[in-house]
């Protein structure tokens, strides 16, 4: 039988390459980014159905892709190339799986799948051929990365080398022409050194502004589409992408800034009532901006209450800021109460703030109890899935479990109606990633940032102690995230999930935040190798940049209607162009010393 089968396959391949596949390619529809073309050729005497599912979709039910009629019929389908796909061919006549395969298709490629007879009547042979080679979808981002690297060398390394050369020349001048100082000069220089020390003592922490600006720049780039690459867009449900990193970083920075700013104001004698008035005003402004201005886009059509989204990014940031600032006002002024000789002296930056820690423990316990114990109608208790076709299609209306149920009960339809899971999981329920239950863990994330601020204050001038404590916190949080998620995307006790702001997501992002802040602190504030440019400019005007790009993002010159949608070149250029414009605007405002403060 083997020689006969070999001859049959050879003859089949001859037929395939002699039947004029080019005709199918010529009449193929135009492909968009992250799409490939599949042409199914049915050579069986009965109709077949092709089904598919994405490997990124957790336990998802197979969905119908195409039906191919019997005897030399062909059907064309455009498929996504973002994630690996599992496909199978079923016989409509016998309701049996004829063949099954898993493959990652590449962008712009044209592929043929030949469904042929086999010696075994219960199965078929599926042969793949490439009609048109795919193009390299990652070439645009590689070119962009190299261009940005060259730009960084020009604007960062070159001035650094120039300053070093000037310093060497100055040192040679001093060595060759050493002046003679009198006692009066020594006293004057001592006073000058003391004044310089005082200035250094009160200088602004550049690493924090650079961190904030870096997070904001990535956020703007992501909101402009990230070049259309899937890893610059939010994960469909569980897991992490670049887009899932930026908001927790921003929340972390809010916590650090609250501690540094309020400690300074409390040392200057600003009263609690004044501070309370200040945080209330700022919170109201943030809530108003988020609710009234950032809920509308031109694509939404006429203003209508029916599409108005009540939760939102600025609403969550405003409420998180208010809670963190309130904790700092009530129990925050402790840095002057440092005491040695106690067993807890090495962790005094934790012990002295025990009321704040008790509040966080209560909040996190509340999140855990509601998430895993609250009964949700027609859903399993403690469900953390996306619903829809996930989990074998058993819980189609349970998107988000308790978090989604609470938001739908309170807000109704005034929520985000296009969650990231909608396309892949085929969900029908609205779900808001900035909902009520997730805000609890947003506060916890900000509190981790407050801990970073306390470390900076308690161990000011002792950089090794600061860095060691940052690394200890990063290690503790990283291990916690690994245990909770079991180092998997979907199988952990609590999966890493940005939509839910799960506990493992907070610990994972807390780990990354401590590491990133430690790195920026070393190279900017300790070693002075980098001044934070260009991120420091949007970092010092964060509200203006965020609100501005949200309101004007759909208008020229920040974006335009793209003409070349078959690859990532134009989309990536548009995303980088819009982001660069806001960095330039922030730089011009920085030069003019204009900073929008609330």
pLDDT of residue 343 exceeding 70, the answer is no
Report if residue 548 sits inside a domain: no
Distance CA 579, CA 588 (A): 15
Q: Give pLDDT, residue 156.
A: 67
Q: Give pLDDT, residue 3.
A: 44
Q: Give pLDDT, residue 487.
A: 92
Are 118 and 263 in the same domain?
A: no
Q: Which of 386-390, 447-451, 532-536 has the lowest mean pLDDT?
A: 532-536
Question: Closest Cα to residue 537, out of 597, 574, 598, 591?
Answer: 591
Q: What is the mean pLDDT of residues 147-161?
A: 78
Are 128 and 276 in the same domain?
A: no
Q: What is the mean pLDDT of residues 239-243?
A: 93
Report if residue 130 sits inside a domain: yes
Q: How far apart are the first and last CA of the chain?
A: 81
Are 253 and 126 in the same domain?
A: no
Query: 450, 255 in Cβ contact below 8 A?
Result: yes
Count of other CB atoms within 10 angstroms of residue 482: 16
In three-state secondary structure terms, 106 is: coil
Contacts of 205 (CB under 8 A, 6+ apart): 260, 456, 521, 525
Report if residue 413 sits inside a domain: yes
Are 130 and 255 in the same domain?
A: no
> In the structure, what pLDDT confidence band is assigned to residue 302 with cuts at 50, 70 and 90?
low
Structure tokens at 178: 């050493």
The residue from 490, 511, 535 where one domain ends is 535
Q: Give pLDDT, residue 266.
A: 82
Q: Which of 386-390, 515-519, 593-597 has the lowest mean pLDDT?
A: 593-597
Question: Closest Cα to residue 575, out of 224, 137, 260?
Answer: 224
Distance CA 515, CA 513 (A): 5
What is the tally of helices (H) and strands (E) in the chain?
19, 8
Report if residue 540 sits inside a domain: no
Q: Give pLDDT, residue 22.
A: 38
Q: Give pLDDT, residue 299.
A: 54
Contacts of 332 (CB under 8 A, 6+ apart): 259, 262, 263, 266, 353, 356
Report if residue 265 sits inside a domain: yes
Report if residue 177 sits inside a domain: no
pLDDT of residue 28 exceeding 60, the answer is no
What percent of the chain has a predicted confidence (pLDDT) above 90? 48
Q: Give pLDDT, residue 527.
A: 87
pLDDT of residue 246 exceeding 90, the answer is yes
pLDDT of residue 197 exceeding 50, the answer is no
Q: What is the rounded average pLDDT for all residues in the chain?
A: 83
Question: Closest Cα to residue 505, out of 395, 312, 371?
Answer: 371
Q: Give pLDDT, residue 568.
A: 87
Per-residue pLDDT tens over the stretch 358-374 = 999 999 999 999 999 99
Distances (CA, A) of 91 to 44, 50, 51: 10, 9, 11
Report if residue 77 sits inside a domain: yes
Query: 538, 582 in Cβ contact below 8 A?
Result: yes
Q: Which of 24, 67, 110, 234 is catalytic?
A: 234
pLDDT of residue 307 exceeding 80, the answer is no
The residue from 513, 535, 557 where one domain ends is 535
Q: Give pLDDT, residue 341.
A: 56
367-376: Cβ within 8 A, 24+ apart: 367/437, 367/440, 367/441, 367/503, 368/503, 370/402, 370/406, 370/437, 371/401, 371/402, 371/403, 371/437, 371/500, 372/402, 374/402, 374/405, 374/406, 376/401, 376/402, 376/405
Question: Closest Cα to residue 328, out of 451, 437, 209, 206?
Answer: 451
Distances (CA, A) of 479 to 32, 362, 485, 515: 41, 22, 10, 14
SS3 content of the chain, % helix, strand, coil (to 5): 55, 10, 35
Asked about 465 being catalytic, the answer comes back as no
User: Exposure string (b/e) for 214-245, b if CB count within 10 Å is 16 or more?
Assistant: bbbbbbbbbbbbbbbbbebbbbbbbbbbbbbb
Per-residue pLDDT tens over the stretch 518-553 = 999 999 988 888 888 889 999 999 999 998 888 888
Q: How many domains does the chain have?
A: 2
Per-residue pLDDT tens over the stretch 411-446 = 887 788 889 999 999 999 889 999 999 999 999 999
Burial of 409 (0-12, 13-18, 19+ CB in 10 A): exposed
Look at strands 96-103 and 85-91 and give their pairing.
Answer: antiparallel
Q: Give pLDDT, residue 241.
A: 94
Are 244 and 124 in the same domain?
A: no
Structure tokens at 595: 């900073």
pLDDT of residue 193 exceeding 80, the answer is no
Query: 558, 549 in Cβ contact below 8 A?
Result: yes
pLDDT of residue 410 exceeding 80, the answer is yes
Got the DSSP string for 491-515? SSSS--BTTTT-HHHHHHHHHHHHH
> In the structure, what pLDDT confidence band is assigned to residue 263 with cuts at 50, 70 and 90?
confident
The residue from 78, 110, 135 where one domain ends is 135
Query: 245, 235 in Cβ contact below 8 A?
Result: no
**Which residue intervals of 70-182 are DSSP H helices?**
139-152, 158-176
Contacts of 167 (CB under 8 A, 6+ apart): none
Structure tokens at 228: 């259309």
The continuous run of DSSP H or E covering 235 comes out as none
Are 130 and 257 in the same domain?
A: no
pLDDT of residue 186 exceeding 80, the answer is no
Are 104 and 243 in the same domain?
A: no
Are 299 and 446 in the same domain?
A: yes
Structure tokens at 244: 């899932």
Burial of 258 (0-12, 13-18, 19+ CB in 10 A): buried
Residue 69 lies in domain: 2-135
Per-residue pLDDT tens over the stretch 61-77 = 999 999 888 877 889 99
Report if residue 218 sits inside a domain: no
For the domain that residue 75 is a member of, what is the CATH number?
2.60.40.2890
Question: Closest Cα to residue 431, out of 488, 385, 390?
Answer: 385
Question: Closest Cα to residue 448, out of 514, 391, 531, 519?
Answer: 514
Query: 496, 505 in Cβ contact below 8 A?
Result: yes
Query: 421, 403 in Cβ contact below 8 A?
Result: no
């Amino acid at each position: 039988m083997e020689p006969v089968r070999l001859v049959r396959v050879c003859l089949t391949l001859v037929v395939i390459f002699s039947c004029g596949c080019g005709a199918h390619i010529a009449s193929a529809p135009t492909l968009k980014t992250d799409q490939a073309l599949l042409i199914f050729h049915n050579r069986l005497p009965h109709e077949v159905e092709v089904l598919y599912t994405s490997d990124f979709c957790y336990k998802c039910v197979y969905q119908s892709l195409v039906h191919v009629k019997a005897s030399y019929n062909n059907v064309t389908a455009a498929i996504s190339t973002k994630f690996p796909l599992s496909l199978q061919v079923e016989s409509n006549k016998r309701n049996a799986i004829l063949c099954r395969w898993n493959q990652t298709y590449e962008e712009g490629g044209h592929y043929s799948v030949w469904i042929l007879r086999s010696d075994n009547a219960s199965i078929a042979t599926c042969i793949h051929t490439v009609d048109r080679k795919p193009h390299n979808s990652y070439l645009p981002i590689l070119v962009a990365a190299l261009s940005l690297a060259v730009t960084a060398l020009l604007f960062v390394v070159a001035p650094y080398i120039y300053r070093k050369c000037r310093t060497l020349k100055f040192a040679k001048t001093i060595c060759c022409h050493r002046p003679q100082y009198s006692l009066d000069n020594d006293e004057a220089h001592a006073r000058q050194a003391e004044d310089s020390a005082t200035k250094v003592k009160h200088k602004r922490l550049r690493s924090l502004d650079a961190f904030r600006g870096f997070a904001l720049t990535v956020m703007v780039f992501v909101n402009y589409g990230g070049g259309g690459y899937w890893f610059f867009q939010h994960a469909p449900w569980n897991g992490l992408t670049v887009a899932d990193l930026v908001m927790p970083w921003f929340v972390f920075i809010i916590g650090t800034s609250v501690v540094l700013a309020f400690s300074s104001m409390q040392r200057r004698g600003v009263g609690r009532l004044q501070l309370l008035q200040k945080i209330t005003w700022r919170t109201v402004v943030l809530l108003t901006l988020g609710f009234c201005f950032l809920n509308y886009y031109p694509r939404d059509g006429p203003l209508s209450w029916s599409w108005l989204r009540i939760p939102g990014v600025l609403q969550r940031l405003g409420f998180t800021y208010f809670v963190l600032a309130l904790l700092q006002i009530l129990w925050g002024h402790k840095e002057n109460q440092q005491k040695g000789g106690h067993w807890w002296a090495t962790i005094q930056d934790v012990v002295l703030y025990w009321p704040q820690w008790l509040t966080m423990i209560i909040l996190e316990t509340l999140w855990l109890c509601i998430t895993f114990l609250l009964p949700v109608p027609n859903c399993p208790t403690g469900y953390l899935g996306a619903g829809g076709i996930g989990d074998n299609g058993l819980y189609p209306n349970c998107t988000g479990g308790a978090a989604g149920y609470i938001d739908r009960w309170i807000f109704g339809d005034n929520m985000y109606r296009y969650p990231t899971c909608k396309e892949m999981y085929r969900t029908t329920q609205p779900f808001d990633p900035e909902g009520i239950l997730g805000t609890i863990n947003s506060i916890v994330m900000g509190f981790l940032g407050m801990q970073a601020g306390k470390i900076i204050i308690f161990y000011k001038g002792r950089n090794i102690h600061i860095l060691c404590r940052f690394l200890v916190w990063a290690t503790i949080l990283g291990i916690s995230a690994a245990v909770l998620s079991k180092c998997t995307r979907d199988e952990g006790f609590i999966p890493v999930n940005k939509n839910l702001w799960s506990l493992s997501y907070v610990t994972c992002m807390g780990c990354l935040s401590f590491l990133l802040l430690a790195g920026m602190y070393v190279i900017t504030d300790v070693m002075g190798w980098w001044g934070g440019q260009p991120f420091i400019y949007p970092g010092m005007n964060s509200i203006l940049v965020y609100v501005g790009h949200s309101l004007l993002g759909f208008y020229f010159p920040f974006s335009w209607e793209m003409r070349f949608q078959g690859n990532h070149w134009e989309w990536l250029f548009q995303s980088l162009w819009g982001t660069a414009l806001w960095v330039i605007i922030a730089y011009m405002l920085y030069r003019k010393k204009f900073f929008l403060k609330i």
